[in-house]
Amino acid sequence: PGVGGSPRFCSGRVELEGMNRPVIDRIIRVDHAGEYGANRIYAGQMAVLGRSSVGPVIQQMWNQEKEHLKKFNELMVAYRVRPTVLLPLWNVAGFVLGAGSALLGKKGAMACTVAVEESISNHYNTQIRTLMEEDPEKYKELLQVIKKFRDDELEHHDIGLKHDAEEAPVYSVLKKAIQLGCKGAIFLSERI
């Protein structure tokens, strides 16, 4: 691990010979899009709740998401992966989701956090299984990054629960709707 406990990844370009290029492209593209979207969600939440008692909690989670996005920006260059063309959509949709959930109050924002982070950690687990089946040694560095970020997302999920996410208005409906949106965003970002 490097500074601040973030995983270090080899600098420059990665030797792609022998790697399953379609799998790597899909994983890095969608993870970059997800971290970009998460940054926009937290930006929206901070716009509404930044000066509230929960503002510092949201800021702390957002700071970790900024590090995740920075790492995936580096990985896109190292692995020569293009970003999804849907980034402008995720820019707006993420901010609207973050601000909209925050307008429901602290519990609404935390319900959004729980829904999104649960979806993302499950998605990271699927990617980890895929890379382990491919060749855990060949994808060792990428696996290290994904596992660390998955753990961070699970921590955010737990923070949301600790801050009364389940007490949000229509929590189960809100959670299911957000997670359905996450699944759609994942599906599209992997492919477009």
The domains of the chain, with CATH numbers, are 21-190 (1.20.1260)
Give percent above pLDDT 90 in the chain. Answer: 90
| Cα Dmax for the chain | 51
**3-class DSSP assignment, residue 81:** coil
Q: Give the pLDDT confidence score for residue 17 in this predicted structure.
A: 78
- Asked if the model's pLDDT at residue 6 lies above 80, the reply is no
Question: How high does pLDDT run on average in the chain?
Answer: 93
The pTM of the full predicted model, rounded to 2 decimals, is 0.90
Q: Tokens for 136?
A: 């855990």
Q: What is the mean pLDDT of residues 132-149?
A: 96
Assess contact for 33 and 93: CB atoms under 8 A: no
Note the pLDDT tens digit of each residue in 56-66. 999 999 999 99
Q: Give the pLDDT confidence score for residue 1 in this predicted structure.
A: 38
**Cα–Cα separations (whole angstroms), residue 117 to 16, 24, 48:** 30, 22, 20
Note the pLDDT tens digit of each residue in 38-50. 999 999 999 999 9
Q: Tokens for 39?
A: 């940054």
Note the pLDDT tens digit of each residue in 67-121. 999 999 999 999 999 999 999 999 999 999 999 999 999 999 999 999 999 999 9
